[in-house]
Structure 1
């Protein structure tokens, strides 16, 4: 069953993690979508301040989504994504970093985690892999951004280790792998394939073995899943979406499909005050 369900009745429609929210009602977890009008006007559903020309509109979009989710805009927290593997912990003092300016975000940070209530961890995407984490035993949440560099840098296993370092039992950690570009739309060169071979136990489960014009097709969602299994998690702990951002212009921004002229979706996870 597809883990990311569309909440279409919302004023600002978005995908949400149905099974997580049913089991843990205090959780808010999902990903924004685009609409038909944003194909001509990417800023209409853009949530990232590092792209687009109208920051005041992006902030307005963030405020509207926060209101739809029932959280304070002051809880919106994000990092400066650089396709790296740095992970930072959000405290009550750093809550809200990056909400109103790119300069105030956590610098050079592609992963965030927290045990604080009333913090919305956010991260931005237009093909890369969104990773959401939750461990009920220590009430910790996390988000990570994994393009191919973050994937080969093993940001997903690194996040697991950060959870365990803070007392989480590995068997209690849940992960959701969100909408990103699929192997159907993602061609890479030999350098990327070579890098993946170094970290994956069986790279040809995620890399098609027949090059086309010296290009290979790669499944980054599956790559991250296999890295998590390699780290010791079980299949039942990992939810993987079937959505490809490249195949659905009605729902997703895609950097590759739209030749860079696009906005960014936001993946988010938070725990309510109660």
Structure 2
């Protein structure tokens, strides 16, 4: 359990980073802030649009009162399934109040949190570690951080969502680049979304990397689907799938 708690703690630190890079106000500024390392910000494919094309972009965490998500968690690595809900109760400027629930069939958890953007999850940290709900709280925080609130989705904010588009995030010509890609279209809970993936080149310099997939919709504030793959085995370790959605 100590290793798992440490891993979740690292994820929470990444959420802070997501809050920082997710606040751009234009496509150009967000692209610069979202890239890390020796990024080039170069995009493959084409940004050319005809008069009939609509440039589609996504902005995370633009919550509206009444917005509701219910996710199914498939934690393959830890042999666990669970349900998590995110219900936006009110929005006052940048401050959001939401109710979070968690249920894995054995343990359940419910908590109302208030905060801004991704940092709203910090309100989950104030649980007594000796309380009965401590374990469920830690799992809830971890799954939300890995899934709907993952900092990896920040790479797509204010980008042009068009199948075939790709951006270099880090790397170099010799070792290859880690890239963010728009690879297709899909639908979850009746909401259409763009299938995206963080891809890593197959080389020794990237041996311990992990790959991340998501499906994002310009009509929803959170990713509808997320999945992580082990860098060594290539096998999926966890996926979080939207099963019910209501707009605000």
More helix by share: 1
What is the TM-score when the length of structure 1 is the normalising length? 0.24
What is the TM-score when the length of structure 2 is the normalising length? 0.26
